[in-house]
Amino acid sequence: MRRDWLAWLAALLWFGALLSGIVGWEWYTLTPGSKGTPVAIEAEPGGWRLTIFVHPHCPCTRTTLTELMDLSHAEPDLAIRVLFVIPPEAPADWWNGPSHTIAESIPGVEIVQDDGTEARRCGAETSGHSLLIDPSGRTIFCGGLTPGRGRDGALRLWLSRMKSPSGERVDAPVFGCPLFTPNT
């Protein structure tokens, strides 16, 4: 009996520890990255345009890019531009990686390398930071396209919200790796 009791106690403790760990892990997953203040977000009138700043090696951003692929199929008129933020200190081929491969497979996508200037101008500090610009040139969405690190499923929600008739800009948290090396 005593040993059973100890076993059950151990199981309880074990379960509590697990629960704590899972909660902590979930906290990390749902903790968004930082967002800067955009210097100027001006765009000429045109069609719907989505600009996304991507850290070439951020694993969470691959989920964002996968979401973009679905989005490109759903919204073929949406002009998608992926800006791989390449810091100056980064090696030359630093931007090649899985994210680049995914990005290239998105139909009609425009892949652009950014040395951080554009990112900073747009206030993007975390990979996956996106800007949705309506045909009038107004930024109607600013933030991440995923509901958490590496998690998809929120794109259509954001898109519906982005295309809401209220025309108000929507800000959303960005889940991804920092685009810039600290202290640089």
Partner 1 sequence: MPPAETKENNARWEARVGELVAEARDAIHRRTDRMFAGLLVFQWLAMIGLALWVTPLTWAGTRSTTHPHVWAAVGLGGLTIALPLFLAFARPGRPNTRFVIAAAQMISTGLLIHLTGGRIETHFHVFGSLAFLSFYRDWRVLLTASAVTAADHVVRGLAWPESVYGNIAGANWRWVEHAGWVVFMDVFLLFACWQGNRDLWRAAEREAELEAAHATVEERIRERTAELWQKEEQFRRAFEDAAIGMALVSPDGRFIRVNRVLCETLGYTETELLACSFQSITHVDDLAIDLEHLRRTLEGLSSTYQMEKRYRRKNGQIVWATLGVSLVRDNAGNPLHFVSQVQDITARKAGEEALVRATAIAEAASRAKSEFLANMSHEIRTPMNGILGMTDLILETDLTPDQRESIGLVKTSADALLTVINDILDFSKIEAGKLDIDPIPFSVRDTVGDTLKALAARAHAKGLELACDTDPKVPEMALGDAHRLRQILTNLVGNAIKFTERGEVVVRCECLEEPNDAIRLVFHVTDTGIGIPPAKLRTIFEPFTQADGSTTRKYGGTGLGLTICQRLVELMGGRIHAASEPGRGSTFTFDVRLERARGSIERTIVLPVDLKGVPILIVDDNATNRRVLAETVRHWGAKPTCSASGPEAMDELRYAAGNGTPFPIVLLDGMMPEMDGFMVADRIGREKALAGVAILMLTSADRQGDTARCRDLGVASYLVKPVKPAELNRAIAAALYAATPQAERATNPTNPTIATVPGPVAAVGRRLRILVAEDNVVNQHVIVSLLKKAGHAVTVTVDGKQALAALASEGPFDLVLMDVQMPEMDGFEATAAIREMESGTGRRQLVVAMTAHAMKGDRERCLAAGMDDYVSKPIQRAELTRVLEWVAGIVPVSISSQTPPPRQRPPVLDRTGALERLGGDEDLFGQVAAVFLADAPKIREELRRAFSAGDFAEIRRLSHGLKGAAGYVGGLATAESARALENLGAEGSLSSAAAILDDLDRELDRLTAALGEPVALPA
Closer residue to partner 1 (CB): 30 or 39: 30
Cα–Cα nearest to 143, from 174, 169, 176, 178: 174
Contact residues for partner 1, defined by CB under 8 A: 3-4, 7-8, 10-11, 14-15, 17-18, 21-22, 25-26, 28-30, 55, 57-60, 63, 87, 89-90, 94, 127, 147-148, 150-154, 156-157, 177-182, 184
Nearer to partner 1, 23 or 137 (CB): 23
Q: CA 30, 36, 40: angle at the middle one, nearest 5?
A: 135
Is the Cβ of residue 142 or residue 176 nearer to partner 1 in the bound state? 176
Which residues, at least 6 apart from 76, have a Cβ–Cβ distance to it below 8 Å? 107, 108
**From CA 136, how far away is CA 2, in angstroms rounded?**
74
Whose Cβ is closer to partner 1: residue 43's or residue 173's? Answer: 173
Say which residues have a Cβ less than 8 Å from residue 65's Cβ, sequence separation at least 6. Answer: 54, 82, 99, 102, 103, 106
Residue 169 Cβ, how far from partner 1 at the closest point, in Å?
Answer: 22
The conformation of residue 137, written as its DSSP 8-state character, comes to S
Separation of alpha carbons 92 and 44, rounded Å: 32
**Smallest separation, CB 117 to partner 1 (Å):** 14
CB 7 to partner 1: min, Å: 5
> Whole-number minimum distance, CB 41 to partner 1, in Å?
22
HSE-CB of 123 using CA atoms within 13 angstroms: 20
Q: How far is the CB of 32 from partner 1 (least distance, A)?
A: 13
Residue 29 or 79: the one with the smaller Cβ distance to partner 1 is 29
Enter the tokens of residue 8: 């059950």
